[in-house]
Amino acid sequence: MTASCSSENVLADFANKDSDEALYIDAKKALDEMEWATTVDIINNQLSSTYQSRRDVKLVLASAYAGSCGLLFANLIQGMTNNASSQMFRYFMGIWAGQTVNPDDCELAIGVLQGIGTAAQRSTKENLFLALLGVARMGTNMAANLDSGDQNGSIDADATVCHEDASGSLTRWPDAPNPAPPDTIRDEFGHPPLGMTKYMSSTAMKRVASGFGLVLENFAALSDALGAGTSVDAIGDLSDDCDSALSAIAGSAVSCATMVTPAGVSDEMVYAMRFMMDSADFGFGTCSIDDSVAFFGTLGSYDILTDSPPPGLCCPSTKIPGASF
C-alpha cells in the first residue's frame, strides 16, 4: 500500500485495461473532459456490441454527440435565462449567441435516444434530454444558417427564412394563367427580397420543424424540469398556432407534435414553419399569422384578377403548397 502511494500502482500490470468496464470508465472520463470525439470513438469502436446496447452507455454517447453539437447544459440554461426575446424563434436562436454549433451532431444524439424507444418507453430523464435536444435542433440549425455572420443571436441582414435558396427558386408563385398578363401573380405577391445570401433550405426547415415536434412530444418532462413560466407557456401558444396553420394548409386536422423526425415533416409543415418564422408573433418579420391563416382558407375562391392578398401575409412571395394557381 505504501509503495502504491508514491509510484505506479503495483497491481497495474495485472489490471485489464481493455475490458468493457474499463473502457466505459475511460469514455465517461473523456466526456467529463469534453473530449467528444474520444468518447464517441471508445463507445462506437472499442466497446463490445453488447455493452454498446446498454442504456447508460447510449446516454453517454448521446451526451458526447450533443456536446459536439453545442449543447452544454450550463450554457443552455444561461442562454435561456439571458435571452429576453418574446418571439419564440428569436428566443431559440438567441440561446446560441456566440457559440460554435454543429447541427449534424445534434441529429446523431437524437437518433441514439430515439433508438431507445417511444416516449412512453423512455425514462423521464431521457425524454427531458430529447426535449432539450429539440431546442438545440431548432436553435443550432437557425444559428448556423441565419446568424453565421456576427453570431450575435439575431438574424443577419442578408438572411431570409422564406425561400429554399437566395433567389427564391422552387417556391415562388408561378406565372398567372391566361388570360392574365405574365407575372400577374408573381408581381401581386411580390418578388423574393434581393441580396439575401443566407437562407433556410428545406432540409434545415425540416430539422427545425421536427425539433419543435420533439419539444412538444416531450413537453411534460420539460415543463416538470423548468416549471411554469413565460418560455414554457409561449411554447404551448406556438403549438396551438402551429396546429391551426398546418391544418389550414393541409385542409384537415394535423398536430405538429407528431412530426419528430425530419422524414416525417411534410411540405405543408415546411411552409408553415417558414411563415411562422417570418411573423411578428413568433419570428423575425412583421407579418401576421392570423392574416395568413385566414388567407389560406380563401384559396379555393381566390380570384387572381380581382382579389389582392392581405398586406399582412407572411412570406408573400413563397407559393403555398397545394395552391392551384
Q: Are 141 and 154 in contact (CB under 8 A)?
A: no
Q: Is residue 63 part of a domain?
A: no
Cell of residue 58, nine digits: 447510449
Which amino acid appears at position 242 of this protein? C
Q: Report the pLDDT value the prediction gives residue 26, as an integer from 0 to 100.
A: 97
- The C-alpha atoms of residue 182 and residue 120 are separated, in whole angstroms, by 54
Which amino acid appears at position 154 of this protein? S
Q: What is the pLDDT of residues 172-196, one digit of tens each?
A: 887 766 666 666 777 788 888 888 9
Q: Report the pLDDT value the prediction gives residue 77, as an integer from 0 to 100.
A: 67
**Cell 454498446, residue?**
52
Q: Is residue 255 part of a domain?
A: yes
Percent helix, strand, coil in the chain, to 5, is 55, 0, 40
Q: Is residue 79 part of a domain?
A: no
Q: Report the pLDDT value the prediction gives residue 83, as an integer from 0 to 100.
A: 63
Q: Is residue 75 part of a domain?
A: no
> Hey, which residues does 304 pair with through a beta bridge?
none
CA end-to-end distance (rounded Å), the chain? 84
Q: Report the pLDDT value the prediction gives residue 92, as an integer from 0 to 100.
A: 87
Cα radius of gyration (the chain): 24
Q: Concatenated DSSP letters for 117-174?
A: --TTTS-HHHHHHHHHHHHHHHHHHHHHHHSTTT-SSS--TTEESSSSSTT-TTTBPP
CA atoms within 13 A on the CB side of 150: 8
Q: Is residue 25 part of a domain?
A: no
Domain that holds residue 230: 85-301
- The C-alpha atoms of residue 241 and residue 218 are separated, in whole angstroms, by 18
pLDDT < 70: residue spans in the chain: 1-16, 74, 77-86, 176-183, 225-234, 324
Q: Report the pLDDT value the prediction gives residue 72, as an integer from 0 to 100.
A: 85
Q: Is residue 103 part of a domain?
A: yes
Q: Report the pLDDT value the prediction gives residue 254, as an integer from 0 to 100.
A: 82
Q: Report the pLDDT value the prediction gives residue 12, as an integer from 0 to 100.
A: 47
Q: Report the pLDDT value the prediction gives residue 21, as an integer from 0 to 100.
A: 95
Q: Is residue 22 part of a domain?
A: no
Q: What is the pLDDT of residues 31-66, one digit of tens each?
A: 999 999 999 999 999 999 999 999 999 999 999 999
Q: Is residue 167 part of a domain?
A: yes
- The C-alpha atoms of residue 87 and residue 159 are separated, in whole angstroms, by 17
Report the number of distinct structural domains present in the chain. 1
Task: Provide the 10 A C-beta neighbour count for residue 188.
Answer: 16
* CA 127 to chain CA centroid, nearest Å: 16
